[in-house]
Structures are given as C-alpha cells and as structure tokens.
Amino acid sequence: MRAARARLAAAGVPSPAVDADLLAAGVLGLGLGELRAAALRGTALTAGQAGRLAALVARREAREPLQHLLGTAPFRGLELLVGPGVFVPRPETETTAGLAVEAAAQVARSGRRPLVVDLCTGSGAVALAVASEVPSAVVVAVELDPGAHAWARRNVDAHRSAERVRLVLGDATSAEVLPELDGTVDVVASNPPYVPPGAVPREPEVRDHDPALALWGGGEDGLLVPRGVVARAAALLAPGGFVVVEHAEVQGESLRGLLAPPAWEGATTHDDAGGRPRATSARLARPAGTCAPPGSAPSQ
C-alpha cells in the first residue's frame, strides 16, 4: 500500500492515498474500513491480488480515470456505472442535480407528479438523482452520443426507479426531440458540453478520456450547445417552469444573459460546494395577468 501511494504521488495523481486505497479495496472486495483494518493486521496480498493491484496502479499512474478502473462513480448517494465512452459525473454536477431535485420536490409537495427532462444526460446522473430523491417524479433523459446513451441505459436498467425514467437517443437541442412534451414540463436540467475551443482541460483524466462530444460546447465561446439547450427548455417548459444549466466558472454572466426577461424570470447563478459559480437557473415567464400555480417554487 505504501508503494502504491508513493507511485501515484510521483505521477502527480491529485489524491494518491485515497486512490491507492480504493484500488486495493476493489481488488480485495473490501470496504475502505475493512481494508484499513486488514492493513493494520499486516494481512498479505496473494500473488494474484498483488499483480492485479500493480496493474491497476500502473494504469492510474498513466492518469486513466479512477472511476474507469473501479467501474463506478458516486453521485448523490448513487453508484453509477461508467467507463470509456461516457463523461464521468463530477461533484460539481451534484449542485445542478440538487437544484433540479428541489424544484421537482416543490411541485410534488403541491400534489402533482413533476415532469422533469434532463437534456444531455450522459451517464444518466441528474435524471437518476431526481428519480431517486423525488419518488413521484417522471423523468425523461435525452442523450445524443450512442456510446454515452448505452451507459445511461445500463444505469437506468440497474436503478430501482427505472420505470419512471424514459431514456431517449437524440439531439437535446432539436425541436424534433420530445415535441409531444412542449409546454408541459415542470423542470428542465442540463449539464451540456460547454468548454470553449481554446480551453484545453488541464486534467489528463478529462482531456484524454472524457468523450469530446461531452466537452466542447461549440462556437467561439463554447456556448453553442447551451444556447440550444436554453431554447429547447423554453419550448418544453410550462409557464413558471424551472430550468437549471451547468456551465464553466466564467460563463455565469453569459447564461444569465440567455435566461433574461422577458422570456425568463429570476436568473440566478449558484456556487458549487467548492464556492465556484457553476450553474444558473431561471423560470419561464408566465403570461401577463396569470398567477403562479399552487406549489410553484420561487426563483432559486
């Protein structure tokens, strides 16, 4: 274990001790607490276990994502299946999911079943978080990339709320996707690609392993896809419906501009757990003279 930690530290892995422990726990089929107890007892690895651990440490040294090596990624209490071909869900996206969960929960508290659409679902993280945390919610998740869609399919099929999650292969920005839902949706959430063309991600795990389709947002500012998502949300949402879109730290002002009056109300940028501006929300404006429906949540 000391050798594994030292190798990962020398390779510049951000959390070498945790990563080494998780890899060893995976090889041994133990939880972290059990692993540490075994280490304190001086438990030896078999030759086969030592070989498998060494191979995994070598792959992590080469900055292959830890989640790919483990086969799962944690997200708001869920364990999502991930691997090559799908964007690994990040802690900052838990902020986006939490805003969608709260908006859906407020609709549920009014006595209605919330209808939620997750655009650019990737692994299905946001969609499954909403379905898990708001038991009455009906969720539709849209993904363009067939590879990512296959991972989302695995996660939806493995989830206990699978019957309430509908997965669609298609372009989240196209009016031809979900036209039957236009004007009826309570919440739209999205973690779209938003990286500008000149901003190469620093982390090798992202730059070399996340699908390009999940990273590059298009256009000179990286906001071509987010603009399409906002336009699609405007069509999908019922008046007063809630939208939340994840973005880069420097894009909050631009997103608030996209979610401005008269079409939108209450655009607000929210910090993630690390204090970085990471998601912007708003509500679709209601026609003049109409009142908010019962249970409608205020702007976040």
CATH (domain of 221): 3.40.50.150
Instruction: With a cut of 90, say whether residue 105 has pLDDT above it.
Output: yes
- Residue 161 pLDDT grade (very low, low, confident, very high; cuts 50, 70, 90): confident
Going by their DSSP bridges, the two strands 185-190 and 165-169 should be labelled as unpaired
Confidence at residue 299, expressed as pLDDT on a 0 to 100 scale: 40
| Residue 92 and residue 52 share a domain | no
Is 191 annotated in a binding site? The answer is yes
| Residue 119 and residue 29 share a domain | no
| Residue 96 and residue 41 share a domain | no
Confidence at residue 290, expressed as pLDDT on a 0 to 100 scale: 60
Could you tell me if 86 and 151 are in contact, meaning their C-beta atoms sit under 8 angstroms apart?
Answer: yes
Residue 145, φ and ψ in degrees, nearest 5: -75, 120
Higher pLDDT, 270 or 206: 270
| Residue 112 and residue 36 share a domain | no
| Residue 108 and residue 171 share a domain | yes
Whether residue 110 is contained in a domain is answered as: yes
Whether residue 296 is contained in a domain is answered as: no
Locate tokens 């209490």: which residue? 77
Residue 107, φ and ψ in degrees, nearest 5: -65, -45
- Residue 291 pLDDT grade (very low, low, confident, very high; cuts 50, 70, 90): low
Residue among 186, 255, 265 at smallest CA distance from 225: 255
- Residue 165, token pair as written in the block: 């999650």
Locate tokens 């730290």: which residue? 249
| Residue 92 and residue 34 share a domain | no
Whether residue 292 is contained in a domain is answered as: no
| Residue 160 and residue 276 share a domain | yes
Residue 132, φ and ψ in degrees, nearest 5: -75, -40
Is 143 annotated in a binding site? The answer is yes
Instruction: With a cut of 80, say whether residue 289 has pLDDT above it.
Output: no
Q: Identify the three-state secondary structure at position 17.
A: helix
| Residue 170 and residue 46 share a domain | no
Confidence at residue 294, expressed as pLDDT on a 0 to 100 scale: 42
Whether residue 71 is contained in a domain is answered as: no
Q: What's the domain range around 13?
A: 2-62
Is 287 annotated in a binding site? The answer is no
C-alpha 133/C-alpha 125 separation (Å) is: 12
| Residue 14 and residue 95 share a domain | no
Whether residue 74 is contained in a domain is answered as: no
Whether residue 262 is contained in a domain is answered as: yes
CB atoms within 10 A of CB 299: 12
| Residue 142 and residue 268 share a domain | yes
Confidence at residue 249, expressed as pLDDT on a 0 to 100 scale: 93
Whether residue 194 is contained in a domain is answered as: yes
Could you tell me if 125 and 75 are in contact, meaning their C-beta atoms sit under 8 angstroms apart?
Answer: yes
Instruction: With a cut of 80, say whether residue 293 has pLDDT above it.
Output: no
Instruction: With a cut of 70, say whether residue 254 has pLDDT above it.
Output: yes
CB atoms within 10 A of CB 96: 27
| Residue 244 and residue 186 share a domain | yes
pLDDT digits (tens, 9 = 90+) for 171-196: 999 999 999 999 999 999 999 999 88
Q: Percent of the chain beyond pLDDT 70? A: 96
pLDDT digits (tens, 9 = 90+) for 22-74: 999 999 988 888 888 888 787 788 999 999 999 999 999 999 999 999 999 99
DSSP strands (E only) in 124-276: 138-143, 165-169, 185-190, 237-246, 264-271
Average pLDDT over residues 232-251: 97
| Residue 55 and residue 113 share a domain | no
What total of structural domains would you count in the chain?
2
C-alpha 281/C-alpha 296 separation (Å) is: 15
- Residue 297 pLDDT grade (very low, low, confident, very high; cuts 50, 70, 90): very low
DSSP strands (E only) in 26-156: 72-75, 78-81, 115-119, 138-143
Whether residue 272 is contained in a domain is answered as: yes
